[in-house]
Structure 1
């Protein structure tokens, strides 16, 4: 601890609340948020295009569980790449790394258009998972360099709500492209080529123009850079450190909160994995045509936007992150119950149940915000984001495998598993609140005799973890 003590003596100052001027706040938002929103929109839409392509003719060359395997293999490669991505994010220029990955997955999306066999599609889905794996972690890390904890929660709403917007746009694109008829190329192939080119262009713009941090931003003068740096000090989460510290990873793995959050994500996102791959085909079981099946998915996007608002934007004002996570799971449980319990003759009720199943898709957005607010130490923050995304992958790869061909069209086993998993996610969210509150009270007792100077010490550049800094308090 001697090195830490020495570093503290060199860096001691008092953290004071520093609000950005309205003009500078808008300048920062307009520089950064359009990139975040465009990137997350494209990431979700590009990986779920296969859902829409299934009813547009892609699936005619597949048999049995091959389509389910395409949904799963994407998340297997995503999962396998995540630890390496977390390491590289700390070692390289995050903004450039992000832009390069976007360009690569844009090329891969376009390549879907020339793959018609099961084997070639499996290869393409693996590559897509590899290049998309680093995106959410990059956004969380960059966001932590620009905004305070409440601001990060509100901004997470704007970029994560793109999941809902992408669902809406994807449905409309599928409907529109199904009216395109060509004797040499199918409509789903045109759709993949169009989105691949668009994604590649956004990747180039990100590589060139995305401001990664205040210190490296070309659009701020020195005075504005200093003002932003003073503003984010109250986070107490550190700024940046290129040295990979394995003790911080070990610390993260030993914490109860890490594993509670891990299983909340796995249990709550299993239904998202199934819906993102099978929603078009589920809609067709209600008797809709391929074109109408695309349109009736529009409400899934609006449900995702509403739940993201509850998870992120309202939380930044009222707090209670864990309670909000539990609450947004309740409508999803109701949706699963309707989906399971209603007979086929009640198509409207079952359709309403499908819509409600998408309500808790925003839990991952709340967890992104949780990680940014509650994790100090640059390596630890990267590792926790990687852990979050690994849980995200596991939930999503389980989802498609629940919908086995032999269970079609009812998929009763899948529906029962979803109901159990969602109920467990709700219970764990409430448990998380009690664990974190207990830790905060423990820290209050330990720091009871601290002076104001000791309680408000500036540790922005020390790269202390939240466990090492007893003045850190967790937002729950």
Structure 2
């Protein structure tokens, strides 16, 4: 059957009636959010985007940036310090102090993510039932307490247990930061704001009066993803797991973590293997962190100035230096220490790609429960990749670690391909959405008005349920 026959079939009267009934089912007349009265008041005060004063909106964004981003950034900095402490402990004698042998160091790198893997999805659902700021604060406190306990350990087993528990309490960090970003920023603003707090990887809530809060809610209408919902919708949970895009994001998380898991735990050993002593290895880790910040900043800037729907293209673009660096490190002569070090530094450009791809998750998932699952699944995939990646850095291949660098290169190539796959499926999904909207417009069930957008903006609808949802890519 050709495309014209498909369209004719979709526009049949029986199908129109079915779609109208579906629209009535998913678009109730009341706002499905906590503090519904405030949402009603916001939509009455700001019925459409033209009612929002641009200067007021700019002041609000500056206040959000001033209050939210520094807190998220500082927290993320300490989270990343935790991930790299084992790497620096390796060159300062932890292997000898704990008498580690064989693959025990690799297991210490991996077990952290077992706790994360087991607890990531339950933790996301718990955060939806609690106040996110309080739940995140509790997890940060527990993570810090467990990290301090690691100082006193005397055995591989005890340290493994503490790292598993640390991973469990850290599992909520990235999804929580993504949630806060979606709660306060529009989809266009999310890539640069995620980049702002994620950039603290390399470096190692808004208050106010009622009118400010109403403006904040009105701005979120553009997202069509809802803002807050404290009851778990199990139908949305089911939809999340049945949506093929969820598994594409999980695959993206997996291939993105293959390089990250190895670099965060073995970077100092790779640099030391190039012929540098312990002090210089530590110092040479500094440019690596600075370059991560630069890569992420360049990625956010490029995405800002590119035309709309360029996120997947920018992500693919920043994979090229990483792929070139991995290939150069493998092919360069073993005595080309400076050249191989530069190639190793280049591998960090993938961080910019991954940060921008996180905004694809936050911007393209509607419904609070579905959003929590999908956000958790990209980090679920990341956990599996982080568990596997240290074992590519085999002890007998030190100091070159050819298999480890090779795994990095293969994962980079896979990540590059996934971005174009995501671009294709989001464009295809948008065409399906537009055909659905055309049917609803013909039947009079959907109108291109501010009232129609307001009707679906805060109903806690998933991206599949919401006829006004448009995917960004």
TM-score of the superposition, structure 1-length normalised?
0.85
Please state if 1:331 is matched with 2:321: yes
Give the match for residue 60 of structure 2: 24
1:109-120 mapped onto 2 (5 Å cutoff): 109-120=147-158
Q: Distance in 2 between matches of 1:415 and 1:130?
A: 28
- Structure number with larger C-alpha Rg: 2
Q: State which of 364, 377, 401 in structure 1 corresponds to 2:367.
A: 377
Quickly say closer, same or farther: Cα 1:288–1:355, change in 2 above 3 A. Answer: same
RMSD value, Cα: 2.0
Say if 1:8 and 1:459, in contact at 8 Å, map to a contact too: no
Give the match for residue 457 of structure 2: 460
Say if 2:229 and 2:460, in contact at 8 Å, map to a contact too: yes
Please state if 1:4 is matched with 2:40: no
Say if 2:274 and 2:337, in contact at 8 Å, map to a contact too: yes
1:155-194 mapped onto 2 (5 Å cutoff): 155-166=193-204
Give the match for residue 433 of structure 1: 423
Say if 1:310 and 1:324, in contact at 8 Å, map to a contact too: no
Quickly say closer, same or farther: Cα 1:391–1:15, change in 2 above 3 A. Answer: farther
Q: State which of 149, 159, 163 in structure 2 corresponds to 1:125.
A: 163
Q: Distance in 2 between matches of 1:345 and 1:143?
A: 46
Give the match for residue 470 of structure 2: 473
Shift of 1:119: 1.1
Which 5+ residue runs of structure 2 have no aligned equivalent? Answer: 1-21, 33-39
How many matched pairs? 426
Shift of 1:4: 3.2
1:42-441 mapped onto 2 (5 Å cutoff): 42-60=78-96, 61=98, 62-166=100-204, 211=205, 219-318=207-306, 319=308, 320-441=310-431
Shift of 1:9: 9.3
Say if 2:87 and 2:264, in contact at 8 Å, map to a contact too: yes
Say if 2:114 and 2:383, in contact at 8 Å, map to a contact too: yes
Q: Distance in 1 between matches of 2:253 and 2:314?
A: 14
- Report the 3-state secondary structure (helix = DSSP H, G, I; strand = E; otherwise coil) of the residue aligned with 2:68: helix
Deviations 1:189-228 (A, max 9, x none): xxxxxxxxxxxxxxxxxxxxxx2xxxxx6x3111111111
Say if 1:47 and 1:128, in contact at 8 Å, map to a contact too: no
Say if 1:269 and 1:361, in contact at 8 Å, map to a contact too: no
Q: Distance in 2 between matches of 1:231 and 1:324?
A: 26
Shift of 1:307: 2.4
Shift of 1:390: 0.7
Quickly say closer, same or farther: Cα 1:113–1:400, change in 2 above 3 A. Answer: same
Q: Distance in 2 between matches of 1:7 and 1:399?
A: 50
Shift of 1:455: 5.3
